Structure 1
Amino acid sequence: MVQNVVIIGAGPAGLLLAHYLLRRGNYHIDIYERRPDPRLTSLFSGRTFPLSLQERGRKALRVIVGLEEAIAAQSVFCQGTIIYRKQGKTRRVPRKIPILTLDRNRLVAILLEQLTKTYSPNQVKVNFNCECIQVDGTAKTVTLKPEGKDSFTAHYQLLVGADGARSSIREYLVKNTGLPCSQQYVPDSYKSVFLSRCNLSAGVELEANKIHAWSLNNNIRTLMVPQPGNQLNGVILFKDQNNPLEGLSTKEEVKAFFQENFPTFGQLMSLEEAETLLKRPVARVLTVRCDRFHEGDSVLLIGDAAHAVSPSIGQGCNSSLEDVLILGQLLEQYGDDWGRVLPKFSEQRVPDAHALQELSDYTFPRQKLLLVEFFFRLKVRRLLHQWFTSWVDPFVFDLVIDTDLPYSQVLDLHQGWINKVKRSINEN
């Protein structure tokens, strides 16, 4: 018997879940996304950000034949980070295991292309510019509103909220089923930035396989990630009440700000990008903590809708894709019995999601002395792990990035460091 699944949200988690379900052969899927089709819009026109895919996320992609390869073909493999300073020595943080980097909208476009190429419209339909405005859990219907058109109702047997940190499905569960959930903005806001990696006339050419970062003393930072075609996609981060671009009014002022504060990046910024950056909206990151990720046998939350976290250690997308991998394993184990799969998913995933929030908030210190200690610990642990692999675990950052050890176990192993960073933040 074919089961009818409605997925709200056509981001990485929702699209990968569609791949997983359709390969099982007994599902019809309708996906609704409030944003426009990313395949039809410029990569640089809207709000987007760079992603790094590590072992957790890539392991989930490998389940679908050819998917990881299709994504890798439009990505860059990075082998470390270069941290620049206006004064003082540039710091290099190498990586033995490269991470795969690409833009979020590019990842979505590839997942979409592979989905529509593999399956017919009779199996899956993806509807863009279409917002979910109401859920009726008793009738098992959702009301949807396409842009510029009348609303309509769709029936489901399983409803999946994959609609991000501001999920309408989660909001329905909180209001109508008593789902315990807390939300909080991270202290930083950001704007997307797009640069060329090279300015040969100025003698600037950044390394193609490194992430490039620059920090100022007032908590203003830039992070630029290599993309195919000599492009750098990234963000400028700042405290919510301290937007350094707010007082600027011309493209020349924006470029001058970058040349003064991030000299290398300033030489790579075109006046066109400076003008667009001025107009780009400021984005804020909302974190989400829920005590369960399901309701009964018919509603599920995955990805940021269930457990949005700070992007500081790059686990938002990786953990979302890992959700799908774990769901796939449970479907295999319980033979697509959602009445058993959904509670087991919450039971297994909630502790890891709560641990990931701790790791994301407190792995990287803000205090200067603790930051020095962080890099020292990272270097020493790498050496000791290399010499005594069975006895010494990697430091918390490498354990998160390079392995698929459950987040709760990573937290247990490094609770002392997390507590130390947490105390330093609370003291300030």
Structure 2
Amino acid sequence: MALVQKAIIIGAGAAGLLLAHYLLRRGDQYCLELYERRPDPRQGEMSQARTFPISLQERGRKAIREIPGLEEAIAAQSVFCQGTMIYRPKSKPRRIPRQNQILCTDRNELVSIILQELTNRYSSDRLKIQFDCTCTQVDARAKTVTLESNTKEQFTTSYDVLVGADGAKSVVREFLVQNTSLECEQHYVPDAYKSLGVSRINSEKGLSAEPDLIHAWTLDNNTRLLLVPQPGDRLQGTLIFNAENNPLEGFSTPEQVWELFQEKFPLCGELMTMADADTLWKRQVARILTVRCDRFHEGDSILLMGDAAHAVSPSIGQGCNSALEDVLILDKLLDRYRDDWRQVLPQFSEQRVPDAHAVQDLSDYSFPRNKRLIFEFFLRLQVGRLLHRWFPQRMKPFVFDLVLDSDVSYSEVLRLNQGWINKVKRSVS
């Protein structure tokens, strides 16, 4: 069997960079080239509007743990959280503890650490990384890709294996949709969001948010606020709302933003400065694109993974975790088939597509929107934990606990909770 000599990865996000770690550790038969259209995150030039908080659970952490020392390096720049505090109007905050700690970090910080560890471990004769470089064309027959630098210089390079890890708007996937039988559905979720950050502590008022909990607010109009602890006593998060009902629409001053938070999100409002409000007011509204493909490969040499293959709503924090899990599953298949990509790629699609479709349903319909089902959700959560504690072999925890505290496959989690998911889906329709 001819061994792969050269792998090209388009997209140097968390999944693409972790894949580079996995492939290079397999031995000298691999040399890698990574191309990323954005700047090097270590240079501090990436827009803060692009970053967002990430909560790494057992799935993602298990994949990272395979690379010695990598989880420790990430943990040194992260915060461990023990659960979530949920705030609702006219109700007492509800604390939902987690069985396993959640590793909370920032997207740009996570990418920077994985990247730095990669360049520290491997020399330039096996690893080439180029930022500010966009993939413009794929020639599957010739096994070449054409790329363009930020100075508009174009060049073509060949590959033995091409991996599209270039996000929800993947150029590699688009090539496959246009030129092969790959079927792909893309939809913007009804929600839009703005990212924001505040200090965790207001020393003047003697206030602070608990440092080891994710803080979440839900208003009656389905506007939600999620704040995740970060190093340096910061909270980084997102304000999520229906794209047709922006709560900041029509505001003309940051003072109006600050007043809204004082009223609707009291603790966050007390921690928010006028500068924080001004930054949030000026920040552009972002939309979330979901991706659903019928397979993740083409032939014996092209693979899609991460958001390029299965972008999902961030509502239960599985985008990054599922992308990192992709890498771990691919690595196991490479072991099983001794790096024979002709066998690995179809097996990856066969194993991963059902999980990808399942995590999309779980992300869209695990947490309900109407009040009656929200009450039922918490009741099911409590009863599920109790029954699992009494009968661990017979009773599985409720959907959230299975997703966040275990590495049970997404398709199995969906099978065990299909009745609940269908109920929430009907309530949305």
TM-score band by shorter chain is over 0.9
For residue 120 of structure 2, what is the aligned residue in structure 1?
117
1:125 aligned counterpart, secondary structure: strand
CA contact (8 A) 1:43 1:106 kept: no
Instruction: State the secondary structure of the residue aligned to 2:157.
Output: strand
Q: Offset of 1:86 from its aligned partner? A: 3.9
1:135-284 matched pairs, under 5 angstroms:
135-284=138-287
1:322 positional shift? 0.6
1:57 and 1:45 map into 2 onto residues whose CA distance is 23
Whether contact under 8 Å (2:24, 2:31) holds in the other structure is: yes
1:74 is the counterpart of 2:77? yes
Matching residue of 1:9:
11
Closer, same or farther: CA 60–381 of 1 in aligned 2, 3 Å? same
How do 1:84-123 and structure 2 match up within 5 A?
Answer: 84-123=87-126
Q: In the alignment, which residue of structure 2 is the partner of 1:406? A: 409
The answer to which of 222-231 and 35-44 deviates more is: 35-44
Q: Sequence identity of aligned pairs in percent?
A: 65
* Cα deviation, residue 71, structure 1: 1.0
Structure 1 runs not aligned, ≥5 long: none
- Cα distance 1:135–1:414, how it changes in 2: closer, same or farther (>3 A)? same
Q: Quick one: which amino acid aligns to residue 72 of structure 1?
A: A
Gaps of 5+ in 2: none
> Any conservation in 2 of the 1:196–1:269 contact (CA below 8 Å)?
yes
Q: Distance in 1 between matches of 2:405 and 2:276?
A: 34
* Structure 2 counterpart SS, 1:201: coil
Kindly indicate whether the alpha-carbon contact (under 8 Å) linking 2:74 and 2:110 is maintained by their aligned counterparts in 1.
yes
Which of 16, 39, 43 is the matching residue for 1:40? 43
What's the offset of the Cα at 1:169?
Answer: 0.4
Read off the aligned partner of 1:287 and give its amino acid letter: T
Cα offsets for 1:292-344 (capped at 9, x unmatched): 10000110000010011111111111110010001000111111111110011
Q: Which amino acid aligns with 1:290?
A: C
Q: Which amino acid aligns with 2:22?
A: Y
- Post-superposition shift, 1:96? 2.5
**Structure 2 counterpart of 1:160, one-letter code:** V
Contact 2:40/2:46 (8 A) holds in 1: no
| Aligned equivalent of 1:24 | 26
What root-mean-square deviation, in Å, do the aligned CA atoms of Structure 1 and Structure 2 show?
1.3
Correspondence for 2:393: 390
**How far does residue 39 in structure 1 lie from its aligned partner after superposition?**
1.2
Q: Choose which of 281, 294, 298 in structure 1 pairs with 2:297.
A: 294
SS in structure 2 at match of 1:202 = coil
Q: Compute the displacement of 1:44 (Å).
A: 6.7
Aligned counterparts of 2:120 and 2:165: Cα–Cα separation in 1: 22
Opposite residue 165 of structure 1, the aligned amino acid is A
Deviations 1:324-379 (A, max 9, x none): 00100011111111111001100111111111111111111111100110001001
Instruction: Report deviation, 1:42.
Output: 6.2
Aligned residues: 426
> What SS is found at the alignment partner of 1:122?
coil
Q: Quick check: 1:135–1:141 contact (8 Å CA) kept in 2?
A: yes
Scaled by the length of structure 2, what TM-score is found?
Answer: 0.97
Q: Distance in 2 between matches of 1:43 and 1:200?
A: 31
CA deviations 1:179-202 (Å, max 9, x no partner) are 011111111111111110000102
The answer to whether 1:332 aligns with 2:335 is yes
Q: Tell me the SS of whatever aligns to 1:207.
A: coil
Is 2:192–2:240's contact at 8 Å kept on the other side of the alignment? yes
Return the alpha-carbon distance in structure 2 between the equivalents of residues 124 and 264 of structure 1.
Answer: 47
Q: What secondary structure does 1:182 align onto?
A: strand
1:243-278 Cα deviation digits (max 9, x unpaired): 122211222222222112212111211222222222
Match of 1:361 in 2: 364
- What is the CA distance between 1:2 and its match in structure 2? 5.9
**Per-residue displacement from partner, 1:103-151 (whole Å, max 9, x unpaired)?**
1111101100100011111111221111111111111111111112311
